[in-house]
Amino acid sequence: MAEKPPKDFFRGITVYRKDNVYDAALKRIRRLFDEFPNVIVATSGGKDSTVVFELAMIVAKELNRLPLSVMFIDQEAEWESTIEVIRHQMTRPGVKPYWYQIPFKLFNATSAFENWLECWSPQEESRWMRPKEEYSIKQNKYGTDRFANLFNKILSVDHAGIKSCILGGVRTDENPARKLGLVGAATYKEITWGKKVDAKAGHYIFYPIYDWDFSDCWLAINKYSWKYSLLYDKQFQIGIPFRKMRVSNVHHETAVESLFTMQEIEPQTYEKLTQRIEGVDMAVKMGRLDYFPKKLPAMFSDWKQYRDHLLENLILVPEWKAKFKEIFKKHDEELWPIFKDRVTKVHITSILTNDHEMIKIVNFQAIVFPLIGRMKNKEKKMRLAQEARQ
């Protein structure tokens, strides 16, 4: 009998497949149509969801499964270029539109006083960014007023009693932690590239282009002349790095940088936004370097002192301030000795964007905690090797 390969034998070996990513994605989507009687594409108007939408349309037509259900949760404060793409997708022949223009709360990172945008609030109709679409879903019957919970709730309400899956445009090359999450364990049967929403109800989310990279998306869009948001072209023209290009909502904690170019790219959208949300105009006048400082202000002795000053004066809700203090203390003890001011600068940008939900900090932890784990393993191996030599 042949000996088993060493435990680490396959580590670092590249596995080549005959399929290209385009054909592999089509196969995955065909598989999902075979498994699920109800397949819904979640679109945001971005390049990734545009690719998933177009691939799903190909498969749905091929399998005689039209109309294809397509959902979009409209965050109201959207780029007009993005809305143009959404309208194109929702009005395509063979599409069943689920355009949600319902009241819900979305975090506002530009103001310490108006912490939320009440999207599509009936009381604010005169200030809406634009009128609602005639065929959109307008009533929030989902038992939540938070954007992060809406996808799951929509599945449980609008698609109750039927085995359903949502197709999303998530790719792993953008985030190492995301890659680990989508290849490490099975979600449905042997499929890893997704997540369970409610397995008992038969509700899942899948990411059929999880192994595509940035160039794959643009190659497909160009080759097949798929309609995409022209906002990408405008951002490219003014020198925005590829990984910082965003075409979705612009005022929450991970998107606020988009505001600094909106006045140049879509001045009419910017004008409407300044009238809709408190803090937007001030944020833009402050500028990127004030939100994401690279140089320590002269009046502070170190970054920690600057951080603590900002925390004391900018975070006005006592519960949020206590939450920040707790996490800062923990990071100062555990992370600062390793990563130094890199940790503190993340704290500062979280304060300046009023990120009380700690999205930036959670994203930072997702990067550094695996690094710490590898460092500890390396130290352990070195210690054991040293003990073996003695």
**Rounded Cα–Cα distance for residues 283 and 188 (Å):** 44
Give 141's DSSP letter. -
Q: How confident is the model at residue 6 (pLDDT cuts 50, 70, 90)?
A: very low
* pLDDT one-digit tens code per residue, 278-337: 666 555 555 555 556 778 888 899 999 988 998 888 788 888 889 999 999 999 998 988
The pair phi, psi for residue 109, each rounded to 5°, is: -85, 0
CB contact at 8 A, 220 and 245: no
Q: d(Cα 366, Cα 240) in Å, to the nearest integer?
A: 25
β pairing state of 38-42 and 95-100:
unpaired
**Residue 259 resides in a domain:** no
Percent of the chain with pLDDT over 70: 82
d(CA 92, CA 95): 6
User: Domain for residue 277, yes or no?
Assistant: no
268 in a domain, yes or no?
A: no
Q: Given phi > 0 = left and psi -120 to 50 = alpha, else beta, which region is 340?
A: left
Q: With respect to residue 224, please indicate whether it lies within any of the assigned structural domains.
A: no
Distance CA 372, CA 178 (A): 17
* 258 domain-assigned: no
Distance of CA 172 to the CA centre of its chain: 12
For position 7, what pLDDT does the model report?
46
Taking residues 34-61, report their average pLDDT. 97
What value does the mean pLDDT take over residues 160-166? 95
Q: What are phi and psi of 195, to 5 degrees?
A: -150, 155
Structure confidence at residue 17 (pLDDT):
63
- 132 pLDDT band, cuts 50/70/90, is very high
| CA–CA distance, 155 with 98 (Å, rounded to integer) | 12
Q: Is-contact 203 165, C-beta < 8 A? A: yes
Q: Tell me the mean pLDDT in the region 1-18.
A: 47
**Is residue 294 assigned to a domain?**
no
Of the candidates 184, 199, 214, which is a domain's last residue? 214
Query: Which among 214, 235, 261 is the end of a domain?
Result: 214
Among 5-9, 182-186, 214-218, 258-262, the range with the most confident prediction by mean pLDDT is: 214-218
Asked if residue 187 and residue 38 are part of one domain, the reply reads yes
Structure tokens at 127: 């200030």
What CATH number does residue 133 fall under? 3.40.50.620
Check residues 242 and 200 and name the one with the higher pLDDT: 200
Per-residue pLDDT, averaged over 371-390, amounts to 69
Range of the domain at 96: 21-214
Which residue among 214, 233, 264 closes a domain? Answer: 214
How would residue 50 be classed by pLDDT, with cut points 50, 70 and 90? very high
Residues 45 and 169 in one domain: yes
- pLDDT for 12 equals 43
Q: Quote the pLDDT of residue 255.
A: 56
pLDDT in tens, 235-245: 888 888 887 78
Asked if residue 261 is part of any domain, the answer here is: no
Phi first, then psi: give them for residue 254, nearest 5 degrees.
-100, 0
Distance CA(312)–CA(96), nearest Å, equals 50
25 pLDDT exceeds 90? yes
Tell whether 194 and 307 lie within a shared domain: no
2 pLDDT more than 60: no
Closest alpha carbon to 107 in 363, 354, 325, 360 = 354
Residue 257's closest CA among 276, 238, 275, 272?
Answer: 238
Q: What is the pLDDT of residue 70?
A: 98
Q: How far apart are CA 90 and CA 95, in angstroms?
A: 6
Q: Is the pTM of this model over 0.85?
A: no
Given a cut of 80, is residue 15 above it in pLDDT?
Answer: no
With bands split at pLDDT 50, 70 and 90, how would you rate the model's confidence at 8?
very low
Residue 266, helix vs strand vs coil: coil
Are 201 and 323 members of one domain? no
- Based on the number of CB atoms within 10 Å of its own CB, is 76 exposed (0-12), middle (13-18) or buried (19 or more)? buried
Show the DSSP H helices in 245-279 as ranges.
Answer: 259-265, 267-276
**Mean pLDDT of all residues in 34-52:** 96
The residue among 95 and 320 whose pLDDT is bigger is 95
Tally the domains of the chain: 2
| Coil/strand/helix, residue 272 | helix
95 forms beta bridges with 68
Q: What pLDDT score was predicted for residue 9?
A: 38
> Is residue 52 domain-shared with residue 181, that is, in the same domain?
yes
Pair 141, 34 in one domain? yes
**How far is residue 297's CA from residue 293's CA, in Å, rounded to a whole number?**
9
Give the C-alpha separation, 326 to 338, whole Å: 19
Q: Does residue 201 form part of some domain?
A: yes
